[in-house]
Amino acid sequence: MRTPLPPASETRPRLTGRRIFALFAVFFGTIASADAILVTSAVRTWTGLEEPSPYRASQRYNAALHAARAQDDRGWTLESAVRREGRAGVALSVTLRDRDGTPLDGRTVLARLERPTDKRADLSVALADAGPGTYAGRVGAVAGGQWDLVVEVREDGAVAFRRKARLVLN
């Protein structure tokens, strides 16, 4: 013989005000928790402003234009080469020539590998004279990914020539 089934109203839990409140609390609590984690992560990893005073940077704009014109008037050309050495190291090589193609020797050349996403990861190296118009240096422990290679030639303590190029290191 079959046993009769209980009425449907007895097998389903009743939807009461307390249960609805609990469902809403769990739902919005989960969303609020996820938002709190994301906001905390964003605030902790924010490196800050790239320029501390945009107003002062705008005041230096005319000087930057003048320096760019002076750099173009020199007619110098710069060729750079970057290659991996081992698992983590990077060898940098720069060739500097004047307008006529004559190698420029005896210059102070500095190179920087700048991480576009995090200025805290930037790496600097002074390049040594390695031949006629050629300057070379080595940077250890460079992570893979996108980098900006910034090369500066200094004369009398001021930047006389500057080039920036995007590169990808594997």
DSSP 101: S
- The DSSP bridge partners found for residue 79 are 95
Closest CA to 116 of 90, 88, 87, 150: 150
39 shares its domain with 79 = no
84 shares its domain with 161 = yes
Domain count, the chain: 2
97 shares its domain with 150 = yes
Indicate yes or no: pTM above 0.75: no
What range defines the domain where residue 29 resides?
15-45
DSSP H or E stretch at residue 96:
strand 89-97
Q: Which regions of 18-88 does DSSP assign to beta strands (E)?
A: 77-85
Amino acid present at 64: A
Amino acid present at 57: A
69 inside domain = no
CA distance 113 to 51: 19
pLDDT tens track, the chain, 170 positions: 677 766 665 677 788 999 999 999 999 999 999 999 999 998 888 777 777 788 888 888 988 899 899 999 999 999 999 999 888 889 999 999 999 999 999 999 999 999 998 888 899 999 999 999 999 999 988 998 999 999 999 998 889 999 999 999 88
